[in-house]
Structure 1
Amino acid sequence: MKQRYFFFMDDVSATTSVIDDLKQLGMSEDDLHVIGNDAMALQPLPEPDITHRSDVVDAAKRGAATGGAIGLVGSIVAVTVPAAGLTLGGGAILAGTALGSALGTWFSTLVGVSVPNQDVEDYRGRIERGEIMVIVDCEPDEQPQVAALLEQKYRESVLLEGNLDAA
């Protein structure tokens, strides 16, 4: 499972340089993401995807859990208090839980897309001051190479390990 690491660069030229160096290490552009403030022209650099920009992943997890719990409770009530003499079995409990989980995930995802990623928002002040957040998704065995590269060539960057909803 990939780990997500992130660090900050001071300007676009340094960010372009570190992205090029990471690509030379064998990192795919799909695993590199750059977030800057609205005034910056970051066009040639890899853009963040929806999981970096929004709270969609956390929202989906919360929706699945909440919807599944509501579906389970509703199904148990339907089985133990049958309306009009209907008797439902364990399949109804399973189906109700699955349906509740699916609907909860769907509804929460619709909302989560419009909410900023809270983990990125924690660093919004740094981003608004002009620093550029670089996010690297890599295998755990690739992380020492990334850290060594940053230590050797980019001492001023700060490497942090976080989940940022690692996919």
Structure 2
Amino acid sequence: MQRLYFLTPDPQTTVTIANELNDLGLRRSEVHIMARDRRQLNDTGLREATLLQTSDAVNASKRGLLIGIPLGLVVGIAAATVLSIPGQAGNFALVIGLGIFGGLFGLWASTLVGVSVPDIKVEKFQHAYKRGAILMMVDVPGAREKEISDTIRRHHPDVEIEKITEEERRHAEGQGN
């Protein structure tokens, strides 16, 4: 899946695009909306974007897990060596236990950081969002990305359409899920 970001000028355009996306086979659950005044979209059936879509929480938690487990295992091996617990089972349990603890601690700590890091596109469009524009985050199948963005661009030339680039991914910029 690829996430496309549509910056729309008003609620009517947002609803029209959501209906067009529905006609193109996308479900409403694949469309997330950020609006300064959510009340203007209450009766549309569109979902408000959650913290998971607007922050780097999920990707940060993955990084924390990937760093925490090996670090916990290394600490476990060091602790098993220093403590000289008799028997292999005790040493094994200590290493595995600290590996699990390291993973959970890394997950927890990095998620705390990740929720404070906004998605790079949310951050980019923040000025427009605060002025009343509406940000649509649309999850589309990678193979249909061009078709969908071209269709929306053709019907709504005033709508800004972007996606997270490979360059932004490489620099570990905030990316919502």
TM range, normalised to the smaller chain?
A: 0.7 to 0.9
Query: Who is 2:134 aligned against?
Result: 132
Quick one: distance in 1 between partners of 2:85 and 2:12? Answer: 72
Q: Runs of 4+ in structure 1 displaced over 3 angstroms?
A: 83-95, 106-113, 163-167
Quick one: distance in 1 between partners of 2:6 and 2:74? Answer: 44
Query: Who is 2:102 aligned against?
Result: 100
TM-score (norm: length of structure 2):
0.77
Query: Who is 2:175 aligned against?
Result: 165
Query: Who is 1:5 aligned against?
Result: 4
Quick one: distance in 2 between partners of 1:133 and 1:107? Answer: 29
Query: Who is 2:125 aligned against?
Result: 123
Residue by residue over 1:43-82, the C-alpha shift from the partner in whole angstroms, topping out at 9 and shown as x without a partner, is 1232113311343213312321342243123112113222
For these two proteins, the number of residue pairs brought into alignment is 165
- Asked whether the 8 Å contact 1:3–1:166 carries over to 2, the reply is no
Letter in 2 for 1:59: A
More displaced 10-residue stretch of structure 1: 78-87 or 47-56:
78-87
Query: Who is 1:18 aligned against?
Result: 17
Per the alignment, do residues 116 and 158 of structure 1 end up closer, same or farther by CA in structure 2, a change over 3 Å counting?
A: same
- Asked whether the 8 Å contact 1:4–1:166 carries over to 2, the reply is no
* Structure 2 unaligned spans of 5+: none
Structure 1 residue 24: Cα displacement: 0.7
Structure 1 residue 148: Cα displacement: 2.2
Seq. identity, % = 27
CA RMSD after TM alignment: 2.7
